[in-house]
Amino acid sequence: MFTSIQKKSLASKVLKLVLSIYILFAAAITLIQIVLYYQEEKRILKQEVSLLYETIHPNLSNSIWNFNDSQIESLISGLLINLQVIGIEIKNERGDLIAEAGQTKVKKNDPSIDILNINKNLISYKFPIVYNYRQAVSHHVGTTILYSSRKILLSRITYNIFLILSNAVIKTVILFLIAYFIFQKIIALPLSRLTVVVKGLEYSSTEVEEQQELNHLIKDQKDTELGILTETILKLEQTLANRNTEIKAYQEKLEWKIKERTAQLEKALLEERKAKESLHYLAHHDSLTKLPNRSEFFRILSHSLKSLQRQNNFLAVLFIDLDHFKIINDTLGHAAGDKLLQIVAKRLVQRVRESDTVCRLAGDEFTILLENLSSTHHIEMIAKNILETLTKPITLEHKNVSVSASIGISISPENSKKAEELIKYADTAMYYAKENGKSNYQFYIVPTS
């Protein structure tokens, strides 16, 4: 422990320690300055790229909306004139790449170039492409990804980094010289006088002998700075040992409390999440049949209509009303009526595709959303299957009951492109089916003037 004192002075050790701490501190400050400056330049570069993108955004969104590929290529090629942008990718709302230009396109098409190294040298900026339909409705039609090279950013900050590093080196040298002379005068000289007291002593490597030497040193140097310092260190060591024991016991107790509290919080969070999920499910589903309710069906239909604008197929809404349900409900009771509704809901789900949506609006009224249709033949086939499966006998209160339904059908975009009108027209067509003897289906027919 003390043999190093004979080899090198304590003053030089303390001086080196202080200077090392200062150099590390200065290096950390310099690194922080460089990082902050880099981030600021990166922000400025992003702002410049954003301003460049704003110049083409209106024309770009209009071109994507109108599927004008030539104009898209012209716009992104014009943007590459600026040195800040070296590559461009245009993706539609589904994330599919529809256009690209610049160095990234050339390098991606070259199999001899490592794509991972390209990505490390690029900075990407993503901008949404929003098309304002008739200045009233905004549509997200895609995403623009602009690429800039890190070399451009580094070239802009190289000179300033050089100035920061030069300034740090000069300050370090000056402060080193000042600290050296002050240290020699204030610290090194007093410490050298203290070391004279123990100069020439030889300490053993065992702890027992080391403790004996320390006690002997305290006794011999009782009234000197070195003796007082050594005695104080021994007392501090004992105090720290006691404190460490207390801290360890407290730490174990604290860890146990933390684990206990963490388990309680995790349990509470799990219960809260389950409660939220349950409330969300109840708000959007019918509690009896577990089918989506009116508001959820309206949301799904509205979303499907938006997607339908970019597709060549069509969708249909089937409005289903059970015939003579009130008689069954009044005769056999509400419990039997509820069971009938549950069986009907299960049969409806079994007769449509997984991509279709079955909903219970209210009472004995159900709706079905059929998507991605190419002909009305598929609609008629599903409607016939529904009518056939509903006529199969159902056992309620030990009695076999047959039920039928009247189905009204509306089609988009033929009848309407609005969710409210499609549901209304399907409801109207359902009444056509009721008037034609029930247990049949009818398509909505636009009234002639």
CA distances from 438 to 133, 316, 323, 356 (A): 43, 20, 7, 24
DSSP secondary structure letters along 3-69:
HHHHHS-HHHHHHHHHHHHHHHHHHHHHHHHHHHHHHHHHHHHHHHHHHHHHTTHHHHHHHHHTT-H
Q: Which two tokens stand for residue 317?
A: 């809404």
How many residues does this entry show for the chain?
A: 449
Q: Which long-range contacts (CB under 8 A, 24 or more apart) does 136-139 make?
A: 139/65, 139/306
CA gap 268, 41 in Å, rounded? 45
Q: Respond yes or no on whether the N-terminal peptide bond of residue 413 is cis (omega within 30° of 0).
A: yes
338 in active site: no
Q: Which of 286, 321, 356, 364 is catalytic?
A: 364
Let me know: does 141 contact 59? Beta carbons within 8 Å: no
| Residues 227, 231, 234: CA angle, nearest 5 degrees | 145
From 358, 386, 369, 370, select the one nearest 293 (Cα to Cα): 358
Let me know: does 210 contact 65? Beta carbons within 8 Å: no
CA gap 139, 132 in Å, rounded? 6
Let me know: does 118 contact 105? Beta carbons within 8 Å: no
Q: Say how many Å lie between the first and final Cα of the chain, rounded.
A: 109
- For tokens 């001899």, the residue is 112
Q: What are the residue numbers of the active site? A: 364
